[in-house]
């Protein structure tokens, strides 16, 4: 058992586990060096390169979790969708009916992710937990309908209000396919899987409860590893989020983590929730923020330290080192 697995099972540990969303990325000079020789999608498709990028932050900082280098859009390729990146995802917008008609995900077309996981699992120290992930149905639906990220997600929000049979079928297609994708990752060595629902927070609570959380629940049900659900900006629906049935929940930086935990309920773990902007300050500030965070969850197992969203590319390395040191000094 690793610290991260124990924490998700609400078992006491010597200290909290720490990893950071987007830890394998552009704030790291060794990542930028590799990326100068490999385009983003080529890096994902080459298990040697992808596993190396996954391991870079583990070697430099000693995080407790290694999150596999890929994107939430990667598995859509195995459903016949063409995606490019600039730097975010770009694709030809699709209708709900077209999404519902996509072929089911073909694991053979995405075997490189499984191979990356096997390589990472072989290479990481025993106390480091390998983390797989997928995009949640609603968030993938947002990209497929809109064709890219968006400020308001009006196409998504309109579709959600229209309540058509095509909407239901499109969501079911994505839930089934991502369930299979996560199962493949677990079989290949992922010890924990996280479901990213990055744009769910744009939706009203009623729709989250009726559509979004059930779709996430279907995606995560009956997997043979603990699960984490992360829906930043969905603080207005924490009280019903546990219906997703995950082992743990990511909490964004907007709400004190203990308040979020009270709303989520005592039977689940929490992950978060330092403001990524804290990592743009100084090592002293980072230490103080970690101490304050840990105080809020004191006396109760089940807290994974992380940021409230992805790490910013302008983050100074010394502040990341300070974050890990501050967590490792605590008990
Ligand atoms: O940020 C989130 O909300 C997490 C979920 C998410 C990921 N990708 C996970 C991820 C989302 C919403 C995306 C879409 C996406 N893909 C964006 C967001 C902005 C937009 O325009 O919609 C971007 C910029 C990409 C492209 C991308 N993905 C790059 C350039 C990278 C490299 C690393 C970096 O951030 O510099 C990624 C990797 C990525 N995306 C990972 C994950 C979990 C890799 C593993 C890790 O977390 O380190």
For the segment 129-138, what is each residue's pLDDT rounded down to a tens digit? 999 999 999 9
- Give the C-alpha distances (Å, rounded to integers) separating 40 from 36, 46, 83, 89: 10, 10, 12, 11
Boundaries of domain holding 247: 3-234+241-328
How confident is the model over 83-95, as pLDDT tens digits? 999 999 999 999 9
Q: Ligand 1: which atom is nearest the Cα of residue 232?
A: 3
What is the pLDDT averaged over residues 47-64? 98
CA distance 266 to 309: 23
Q: How far is the CA of 73 from the centre of ligand 1 (A)?
A: 9
Inter-residue contact 253 to 275 (CB < 8 Å): yes
Pocket test for ligand 1, best of 18, 57, 71, 142 (most atoms within 8 A of CB): 71
Active-site annotation, residues: 22, 26, 35, 71, 143
Of residues 288, 317, 159, 302, the one with CA closest to residue 228:
302
Cα–Cα distance for residue pair 34/52, rounded to 1 Å: 9
71 C-alpha to ligand 1 centroid (Å)? 6
Whether the per-residue pLDDT at 8 is higher than 90: the answer is: yes
Confidence category of residue 331, pLDDT binned at 50, 70, 90: confident
Q: Which of 22, 90, 147 to mutate to test the pocket of ligand 1 (most atoms within 8 A of CB)?
A: 22
Q: How far is the CA of 21 from the centre of ligand 1 (A)?
A: 9
Residue closest via CA to ligand 1's atom 41 equals 71
Q: Strands, E, within 102-172: which ranges?
A: 129-135
pLDDT at 316: 98
pLDDT at 77 over 90: yes
Number of structural domains the chain divides into: 1
Between the CA of 311 and the centroid of ligand 1 the distance, in Å, is 10
Which residue is closest in CA terms to ligand 1's atom 2? Answer: 198
% of the chain at pLDDT higher than 90 = 99
Q: Which atom of ligand 1 is nearest to the CA of 85?
A: 26
Q: Which atom of ligand 1 is nearest to the CA of 196?
A: 5
Residue range 103-119, pLDDT digits in tens:
999 999 999 999 999 99
| CATH at 211 | 3.20.20.210
**pTM metric for this prediction:** 0.97
Q: Would the pLDDT of 4 be above 90?
A: yes
Q: Which residues, judged by CB distance below 6 Å to any ligand atom, belong to the binding site of ligand 1?
A: 21-26, 40, 67, 69, 71-72, 85, 87-89, 133, 149, 196, 198, 310, 313
Per-residue pLDDT of 202-253, as tens digits, reads 999 999 999 999 999 999 999 999 999 999 999 999 999 999 999 999 999 9
Q: Is the pLDDT of residue 295 over 90?
A: yes
| Separation of alpha carbons 258 and 61, rounded Å | 27
């Amino acid at each position: 058992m690793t610290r991260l697995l124990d924490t998700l099972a609400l078992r006491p540990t010597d200290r909290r586990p720490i990893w950071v969303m987007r830890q394998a990325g552009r704030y790291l000079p060794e990542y930028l060096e590799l990326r100068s020789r490999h385009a983003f999608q080529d890096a994902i498709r080459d298990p040697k390169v992808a596993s190396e990028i996954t391991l870079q932050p583990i070697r430099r900082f000693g995080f407790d979790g290694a999150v596999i280098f890929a994107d939430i859009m990667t598995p859509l390729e195995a459903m016949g969708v063409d995606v490019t990146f600039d730097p975010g995802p770009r694709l030809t917008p699709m209708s709900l009916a077209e999404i519902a008609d996509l072929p089911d995900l073909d694991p053979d077309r995405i075997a490189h992710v499984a191979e990356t996981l096997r390589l990472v699992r072989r290479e990481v120290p025993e106390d480091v937990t390998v983390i797989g992930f997928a995009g949640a149905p609603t968030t993938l639906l947002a990209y497929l309908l809109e064709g890219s990220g968006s400020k308001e997600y009006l196409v998504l929000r309109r579709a959600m209000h229209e309540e058509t049979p095509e909407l239901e079928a499109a969501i079911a297609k994505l839930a089934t396919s991502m369930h299979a994708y996560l199962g493949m990752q677990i079989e290949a060595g992922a010890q924990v899987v996280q479901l990213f629902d990055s744009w769910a927070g744009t939706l009203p609570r009623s729709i989250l409860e009726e559509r979004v959380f059930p779709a996430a629940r279907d995606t995560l049900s009956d997997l043979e590893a603990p699960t984490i659900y992360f829906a930043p900006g969905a603080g207005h629906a924490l009280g019903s989020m546990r219906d997703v049935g995950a082992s743990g929940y990511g909490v964004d930086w907007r709400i004190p983590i203990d308040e979020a935990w009270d709303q989520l309920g005592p039977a689940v773990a929490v992950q978060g929730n330092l403001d990524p902007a804290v990592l743009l300050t100084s090592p002293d500030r980072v230490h103080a923020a970690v101490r304050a965070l840990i105080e809020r969850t004191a006396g109760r197992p089940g807290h994974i330290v992380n940021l409230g969203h992805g790490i910013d590319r302008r983050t100074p390395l010394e502040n990341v080192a300070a974050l890990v040191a501050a967590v490792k000094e605590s008990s």
